[in-house]
Amino acid sequence: MKNKFLSNILLTFVWVALTGDFSFENYLFGFFLNFNILWLISIGRKRSTYFTIVPKVILLVINFLYELVKANLEVAYEVITPGFKMRPGIIMVPLDVQSNIGITLLANMISLTPGTLSIDVSNDKKVLFVHAMYLKDREKFIRGIKNGFERRILEILS
């Protein structure tokens, strides 16, 4: 997997150098172009996990950005409108992810989303304690984390 990723990065730099356009969009286009070329070259050979993990990482980033924008709008609305609609609370989220890197990634993604903050992980790594500004339905909040961030992290790490 490392060799395919390094090949993809090197081919991206070659693409950027040949086109002479050093914009972020050209780097991104070159990365995806070379990803597809490498995938086409490897058809019929041993299956590489690189070609399954990269799309999952992209989906995780897109999901995170969506949640980030949604939470920012919710918090901004709370700030600019009169009244107090917050219902803060602390939730125990049971964890399916058990690796340290997976728990760290999940906790950081939750903390980076406005309105939520990861507080602690239990010693047995089975529960993540999360503070939420808007807690209307505990079960819905837990399902949102488990079916969103945690599921996508598990897909990448397994």
- What digits encode the pLDDT tens for the residues 91-128? 999 999 999 999 999 999 999 998 899 999 999 999 99
The set of residues, in sequence order, having a beta carbon less than 8 Å from that of 35 and lying 6+ positions away, is: 8, 51, 54
Do 95 and 118 share a domain, yes or no? yes
Do 59 and 102 share a domain, yes or no? yes
In the chain, the number of structural domains is 2
The pTM of this model reads 0.76
Do 101 and 38 share a domain, yes or no? no
- Average pLDDT for 22-48: 84
Q: How many residues does the chain have?
A: 158
Phi/psi region, residue 115 (left: phi>0; alpha: psi -120 to 50; beta: rest), is: left
Phi/psi region, residue 44 (left: phi>0; alpha: psi -120 to 50; beta: rest), is: left
Do 124 and 91 share a domain, yes or no? yes
Do 34 and 65 share a domain, yes or no? no
Do 105 and 68 share a domain, yes or no? yes
Q: Which residues on adjacent β-strands are paired with residue 93?
A: 128
Do 58 and 38 share a domain, yes or no? no
Do 62 and 135 share a domain, yes or no? yes
Domain housing 8: 2-42
- Average pLDDT for 43-63: 83
Do 32 and 77 share a domain, yes or no? no
From 95, 103, 91, 105, select the one nearest 140 (Cα to Cα). 91
Q: Which two tokens stand for residue 11?
A: 């081919």
Do 16 and 63 share a domain, yes or no? no
Do 65 and 142 share a domain, yes or no? yes
